[in-house]
Amino acid sequence: MEKREFPKTEQDFKPGLSGKLFGIIKFILGVSLLPFVYSTSLAFLNQFSLLEKSVQGYFCSGAITFLLVYLFAWEPTIIYAKGQKLLEVIFVFFKPLVRLAPYVLPVYTIILFIIYGLLSLAVKSAWLLKYSIFLIGFTFALHLVFSAKSIHSKKSDFLKANYLFGFSLVYIINLAILAFCINLIFKEFSFVDFCNSAFQAAGSIFYAVFRQLF
């Protein structure tokens, strides 16, 4: 006997409609975060330029080294996965953070800052700072690349809203964490000035857009 197909009811369409509506909202929020992506990047670079050229060079060398390894030699997915597992164990007592922490917290970068802080109390050597900054650049790039890849790979991403909103938010938070950690090591880098500059630049962009629209 031929199986009859019944017409879809209003209830059948609600999940799809609500999902698309939520996707549109996230897309709008994601676009609204773009000025902060620009302003935090600019504020970080302005503060970062105040550091010694050697420090800037080692950090950039670490980030570039990761990109070269990732693009031409090996994708260290297992390293990123281990970091996610570690954060899941740390925040197992608080379920909402179990899902957010692996994206929001650059675990290896934070661990390196802690290790450097402890070792610097006993070891006074230039090589310790140089290698630490190199590895911090390497691990920070690793975290951003794999976080972007993880968010981008999610299915049913209407208008790429999850990626636009999710990664923009992750990028801003991660850059703020990096700025805070660098501020603890280098007196030339001011986290307060970073925050003030980022908000002022973003505010100027929103004000300019508002003036154009109205």
Q: Tell the residue number behind the tokens 């951003």, with chain if given.
A: 144
Q: Residue 64's pLDDT is what?
A: 97
Q: Residue 14's pLDDT is what?
A: 44
What's the total number of domains in the chain?
A: 1
| Distance, C-alpha 45 to centroid of its chain | 16
Q: Which residues contact 81 (CB under 8 A, 6 or more apart)?
A: none
**Is 166 domain-assigned?**
yes
**Is 18 domain-assigned?**
no
Q: Residue 203's pLDDT is what?
A: 95
Domain limits for position 176: 52-189
User: CB of 47 within 8 A of CB of 181?
Assistant: no
Task: Give residue 97's identity as a one-letter amino acid code.
Answer: L
**Is 212 domain-assigned?**
no
Q: Residue 156's pLDDT is what?
A: 59
Alpha carbon distance 38, 45 (integer Å): 11
Alpha carbon distance 84, 105 (integer Å): 9
Alpha carbon distance 90, 84 (integer Å): 10
Alpha carbon distance 181, 178 (integer Å): 5
Alpha carbon distance 134, 130 (integer Å): 6
**Is 88 domain-assigned?**
yes
Q: Residue 84's pLDDT is what?
A: 87
Q: Tell the residue number behind the tokens 């090996």, with chain if given.
A: 74
**Is 201 domain-assigned?**
no
Q: Residue 93's pLDDT is what?
A: 76
- What is the overall mean pLDDT for the chain? 86
Q: At 187, phi and psi to the nearest 5?
A: -70, -20
Which residues does the chain have with pLDDT short of 50?
Answer: 1-15
Task: Tell which residue, 2, 49, 65, 8, has the closest CA to residue 188.
Answer: 49
Helix, strand, coil in percent for the chain, rounding step 5: 80, 0, 20
